[in-house]
Structure 1
């Protein structure tokens, strides 16, 4: 899509002359102070194809890569400059809060949709650094972390006196259980499990579905449908992608079902089945992100235990109520069901700071993941040592790091008991194991 030239009409005030409440205010926090700058301009032009109306306001705060930030009111065929903002840090969650609060005050409405536009990384970045968030501002080097999203949404809800109707991410990899858990005071979340192409949302297609009578649930579902259609040979071309909508009133039941599933998993010894499911499950750009419903479906087929089967059924049912819309394009995302979660296949890939997330603290998911690592690692390594083969122990030691120290401690205890307490090994094997344990303790 070609990028049209924007024409700005300078307005004398932020608030409109007639600030009577409308049905909707659609506000976009458009952080283009990075390499996505051209797409930000293009998206504003897409919005202007529809424009504000007598029932909807469209307001955009855009910070460009090599220019000042501006606040804009989008009308059909026209983008009106409301205010020059100068250089601002859109990686600061306070700027997001101020934008939503001031826009809601100037353009009151029955329903509010807040769209965070930028690079997204779920809860971490590609180098396993715990960036955990969205809105990367190249000028400041700052970003909004997942934990800061929690604070921002709490403050916005307090200012509005109600939940945000829709909080959406036009960004990559944000539709994760860990992110949803961190966003209070929101009725619906719309986001992508997978990376989004640079063109992002088709804003003309998205806004064309907004009418005077559109409910938040209907609009959230429409965004998902419009996004998928645009990449299935539509306005954005053809590309694999995902988009889904969560109805957050059903999140508490989903969280309980996650804990029930985790308890059932830890009560058994299903290492081979989990390993097989992790090999087959739908993964995304970060291979540590897996599709949760697909993972549970795979395990339900292979684990023949009544209690575990019941836990799977409950989690799948809760997920179906939480995920009210799921849209896919392309082939590589065909098993994406609408919600991703963190589960690295190997313990050395597990990022220890994950445990600092509210989701990890408030659920048993991380305990279940660690239980899987401990059971499978110890069983394999100890069995191999019993058969005189130290290769799996040496391989584990070579990859061990600060991220899997909990698993390493468990393995050391198992080895000490089997090799030195129970014994029955020749002195050469015991000496080799002793040296490897010493090396492992220093990892």
Structure 2
């Protein structure tokens, strides 16, 4: 008798993945039933009899694409289907750089909690030679389903795929990971975390810890802000996007991804090397897997902030609601136009200099800048527009904000306000195309 060959797919479109898996399961069950029936009635139907080969040939030639069955599940339980999880947390750990040791530490933090039937935690992690030799000193890129263990010195989660050398600075690699994770571990809600160095939107920043997001030292490649929007779009979007990286909570970044992430977690300032505290972030989710996207985002902000607050360290972390960005754009355009019309350049420059800044000194807290302008301007329109921006950030755009006492003037979102010069890369951003902010910068620098 001919044998049915089922070949795993090498990646399904995210929007069709769940449907394809269900169709495959139904097809496989139906074919199993046909096989059983054919055995019991072989006197009437014999697939080996010449002259009755059409159905036999169709089945023999059939290849059914489907993602590989997740490890730990029986064949028939997988074929018959299982209710989708509440959440799948996808963590893209590009530790092919001087943060490699922290990538391993974060994996061990995740393993303190692990995955459950309601929460999937999946990781793609890359390593290279020359930085950290612990945990077997393996190199390349691996995909894991994170499982709970009590060994905090090494990663014990099962390796689902060993991909060899992957350019983790290529945005297409994140797309591939996201599509795979959604197909293999479908859920009602998704969170993507990109783990690496970060520098906000500025792709020219390379020195020290301030590198472009997902910077791969082996290939020299990194993901630009426009590419961040492209990858989220191609993988079908997420409910929560988190940058476990420095300096990413800016309109220049979040506006780029507004249509593909409902909430965005990020930091105005640099992050310490170990970044998120994943066990503190995952524990509340596992305890309450039915939580919504906003609550999950707040949990991520609090887990990070509480950890560094306990260490008496400085920190910033916030949650932005992307649905509020449309009105924010309108208010920012009105504010910029009012300042240019009032022609108070000296006041503008003074307010920029006095506003909360960060490791990249051209980044300033927008609400603090607006408040300083409202307090110093003699123009009623400028004051009204400045107050509107500051109030909207605090009450609508930023759903949750945490900052240490050293950053008391940080209100959750920073903007590009260079005192000297203008980086022309700014013109590549969706924010620059939609807003008057680039015109405002060029105006006050003249």
Shorter-chain TM range is 0.7 to 0.9
Equivalent of residue 188 in structure 1, options 263, 268, 272: 263
* 2:227 corresponds to 1:148: yes
CA distance in 1, matches of 2:424, 2:120: 43
Asked whether the equivalents of residues 90 and 122 of structure 2 are also in contact (C-alpha less than 8 Å), the reply is yes
Asked whether the equivalents of residues 73 and 81 of structure 1 are also in contact (C-alpha less than 8 Å), the reply is yes
- Give the aligned partner of residue 411 of structure 1: none
User: What's the secondary structure of 2:86's corresponding residue?
Assistant: strand
Asked whether the equivalents of residues 132 and 146 of structure 1 are also in contact (C-alpha less than 8 Å), the reply is no
CA distance in 1, matches of 2:302, 2:378: 37
- Give the aligned partner of residue 161 of structure 2: 83
Q: 217-226 or 314-323, which moves further after superposition?
A: 314-323
How far off is 1:213 after superposition? 2.1
- Give the aligned partner of residue 106 of structure 1: 184
Deviations 1:45-79 (A, max 9, x none): 00011111121000000001220111001111151
- Give the aligned partner of residue 298 of structure 2: 221
CA distance in 2, matches of 1:127, 1:372: 27
* 2:96 corresponds to 1:33: yes
Equivalent of residue 280 in structure 2, options 205, 213, 218: 205
Deviations 1:180-223 (A, max 9, x none): 11113110000111110001011011111212221110010111
CA distance in 2, matches of 1:307, 1:99: 49
Q: Summarize the alignment of residues 364-379 of structure 1 with structure 2, pairs less than 5 Å apart.
A: 364-374=436-446
Asked whether the equivalents of residues 147 and 182 of structure 1 are also in contact (C-alpha less than 8 Å), the reply is yes
Q: Summarize the alignment of residues 44-443 of structure 1 with structure 2, pairs less than 5 Å apart.
A: 44-66=107-129, 67-77=139-149, 78-124=156-202, 125-126=204-205, 133-157=212-236, 163-183=237-257, 184-210=259-285, 211-233=288-310, 237-320=311-394, 321-329=396-404, 331-346=405-420, 348=421, 350-374=422-446
TM-score (norm 1): 0.76
Change (3 A) 1:105 1:127: closer
CA distance in 2, matches of 1:292, 1:34: 32
- Give the aligned partner of residue 45 of structure 2: none
Change (3 A) 1:132 1:309: farther
- Give the aligned partner of residue 440 of structure 1: none
CA distance in 2, matches of 1:58, 1:90: 19
Asked whether the equivalents of residues 146 and 179 of structure 1 are also in contact (C-alpha less than 8 Å), the reply is yes
- Give the aligned partner of residue 6 of structure 2: none
CA distance in 2, matches of 1:172, 1:332: 17
How far off is 1:14 after superposition? 6.0
Equivalent of residue 70 in structure 2, options 11, 15, 28: 15
Unmatched runs of 5 consecutive residues or more in structure 2: 1-66, 130-138, 150-155
Q: 43-52 or 353-362, which moves further after superposition?
A: 353-362
Unmatched runs of 5 consecutive residues or more in structure 1: 1-11, 158-162, 375-443
How far off is 1:372 after superposition? 1.1
CA distance in 2, matches of 1:359, 1:91: 23
Change (3 A) 1:60 1:317: same
User: What's the secondary structure of 1:355's corresponding residue?
Assistant: helix
Q: 55-64 or 354-363, which moves further after superposition?
A: 354-363
RMSD: 1.8
How far off is 1:337 after superposition? 0.7
How far off is 1:13 after superposition? 4.9
TM-score (norm 2): 0.76
